Amino acid sequence: MLRVADIDRHAARALLRRFNLELIDVDDGEPIPGSYWGEPEAGVIGHRVFVRGDTPVHSLLHEACHLIVADIDRRPLIHTDASDSQSEEDAACYLQILLADELPGVGRERIMANMDAWGYTFRLGSVRAWFERDAEDARMWLRQRRLLDAAHTVAA
């Protein structure tokens, strides 16, 4: 499992800043504020994503994507549980895979393998199968909100 300590945090911070989010480092052994799944999973509060060195990168990306896809008026109210609907959850999953390509040394292949290993579940049995053959609803959801262009490229 790829951990935050294994990646370039400056690149992760810059990626989140593109979406007006802040990456907050939590000291090793300290509780992670806003963690829905519990430690070492990332936490969210408002526009901030909290991580430790042992936080899985897929968790950092997933929680950040929940904030990215959230309605701008709802974002400041988010604390711990960021999901609003299954459609929003799928959109966050899709976007995290795309954003993984923007982090040096991460990429979609590795993040999908980590998502499978963590236990994300999809109808077709794997993250890759869902992403490649069953994610049209997520793509449409992201396009409607101008987060994805027609070429399936992140728009921000």
Q: List the chain pLDDT tens, one digit each, 156 residues.
A: 999 999 999 999 999 999 999 999 999 999 999 999 899 999 999 999 999 999 999 999 999 999 999 988 999 999 998 887 888 999 999 999 999 999 999 999 999 999 999 887 777 788 999 999 999 999 999 999 999 988 888 986
pLDDT of residue 82: 86
At which residue do the structure tokens 């609003």 appear?
Answer: 84
At 35 the three-state DSSP class reads strand
Burial pattern 59-76, b for ≥16 Cβ within 10 A else e, equals bbbbbbbbbbbbeeeebe
Give the helix/strand (H/E) hosting 139: helix 136-144
Residues composing the chain: 156
Would you call the peptide bond into 31 cis, given omega within 30 degrees of 0 as the criterion? no
**Hey, is 25 helix, strand or coil?**
strand
The pLDDT of residue 83: 80
Q: Among 93, 51, 50, 41, which Cα is nearest to 68's? A: 93
Q: Where are the domains of the chain?
A: 1-149
The three-state secondary structure class of 3 is: strand
- CA gap 64, 92 in Å, rounded: 8
